[in-house]
Amino acid sequence: MTVVTGEITVQSRGNCDAIDITAQIAKNVQESGVNSGIATLFITGSTAAITTIEYEPNLVTDFTNMWDRLVPEGIPYEHNKTWGDGNGHSHVRASMLGPSLVIPFVNKRLALGTWQQVVLVDFDNRSRSRKVLVQILGE
């Protein structure tokens, strides 16, 4: 078995910015020298998350609007008393969605559906530079 650890960097605008990182992950897998296995993605930071979605603009809007209903920004959060950074909602949203994703790949191709893209969702209330660890295990 081989383990190849890489990293990608993504610039985000924050505020539920959902960024399609599928191509970058596929490139990591193709260049890893590993034929089949799993790619684990992990985002460093507590106000961003990773999931999959059909990356078309209306669905991305539906997804963003859902967070406004589920974890609204305009209500009191205790966290905002701790640092005064006003991003209590960002942390709660990120914890709900989760920081990691495992994607199997076969013959260097990610086992994603045609309408299934990998997205980084930045919930913070400002623009950020994000690092995603991409760890490839296989043979």
Q: Which residues bind Zn ion (CB under 5 A)?
A: 85, 87
Closest approach of Zn ion to the CB of residue 74, in Å: 16
38-73 in b/e burial notation, b at 16+ Cβ within 10 A?
A: ebebbbeeebbbbeebebeeeebeebeeebeeebeb
111 contacts: CB under 8 Å, gap ≥ 6: 103, 104, 105
Comparison of 48 and 132: residue with beta carbon closer to Zn ion? 48
* Contact present, 23 and 118 (Cβ < 8 Å): no
Least distance from C-beta 56 to Zn ion, angstroms?
Answer: 31
Q: Which lies closer to Zn ion via its Cβ, residue 105 or residue 123?
A: 123
| Closer Cβ to Zn ion, 94 or 134, answer by number | 94
CB of 86 to Zn ion, least distance (A): 8
